[in-house]
Amino acid sequence: MNTRLMAQFALVFLVTQLLGLYAGNYLIEEQIHATVINDNPESVDNSLGLIAMMLASTGALLLVLRYAPEWFMALLFRAMESLAVFATTLIVLLPSGIADNYIFAIAILIVALRIIFSRQLLLRNIASIVSAAGAGALIGASLGVLPIIVFLALLAIYDFIAVFKTKHMVELAKGLTKRNLAFTLALPTKEHQFELGTGDLVVPLAFAVSTLAASKQQLLPPASLVTPSLVLLASFLGLIATLHYASGRRGKALPALPLQCALMVFAFAAAKIAGF
């Protein structure tokens, strides 16, 4: 096992999930959520809508990668990253109590630094962590537990097909990684630089925030934190297993979500059976 790789991943995972749970709890308390298809968080239509949007955006990105001129790709991807980082920074800073104008200033500063120092890996990782934390918090606060589980199942199936069958996810990942965008996290080791997609951090966080919202309706802290914690632990173990396997097979792309999602659903079921 590559201890440096695992240590980096553990730190990134812990920081992202704690930051996201902090933001997610605020969104739950303030009843802030996004509308996907309808305004009912318990509607499975929202899961299907989210998957449809993801497939459409993935298809559009692949078309751009294959056929668009380089200048257009560079402009589009930088604009996408800037918008994502700006919006998610606002979400993450909402619970801080900082005045709105300062929150906007911080978000603009982070975006500006990413543009100016676009090749800096540390800045990219910071932006990726903030993006994953904000996105996971918002998705989790916007979907109930059943819709999230449906979303996870569909996403795991899609991830398997996209990596092993059509292989278009590998093409997309390579296209984004070489542009040093904040859609992946760089985990450098002496042997190789591993790239972890932010989706592998967003998905467990979204599930954890959704279960936190459900638990808070029935339980008080710390009992309300048991199910989200078990979900995140299961996700962590799944990702560690995937990274360990991948570290010995350099250059081989692996879908992290199938194992991760299966373990998270199992952990959720175990928590429910135990009365949490």
pLDDT band with cut points at 50, 70 and 90 for residue 252: low
User: For the residues 245-266, what does the mean pLDDT come to?
Assistant: 79
Sequence-ordered alpha helix ranges (H) in the chain:
3-29, 44-67, 70-93, 100-116, 121-142, 145-160, 168-177, 199-216, 226-247, 257-273
User: For the residues 241-265, what does the mean pLDDT come to?
Assistant: 79
* Residue 1 pLDDT: 58
Burial 84-106 (b: 16+ CB within 10 A, else e): bbbebbbbbbbbeeeeeeebeeb
Assess whether pLDDT exceeds 80 at residue 247: no
Assess whether pLDDT exceeds 80 at residue 192: no
Q: Contact at 8 Å (CB) between 257 and 245?
A: no
* Residue 193 pLDDT: 78
pLDDT band with cut points at 50, 70 and 90 for residue 249: low
- Cα 99 to Cα 77: distance, rounded to the nearest angstrom: 30
Domain ranges of the chain: 3-28+45-273
* Residue 250 pLDDT: 62
DSSP secondary structure, 69-81, as one string: -HHHHHHHHHHHH
Assess whether pLDDT exceeds 70 at residue 102: yes
Model-level pTM? 0.93
Q: Contact at 8 Å (CB) between 38 and 46?
A: yes
Handedness of CA 98, 103, 30, 127 (dihedral sign): negative
Across the chain, mean pLDDT equals 90
Longest Cα–Cα distance in the chain: 56
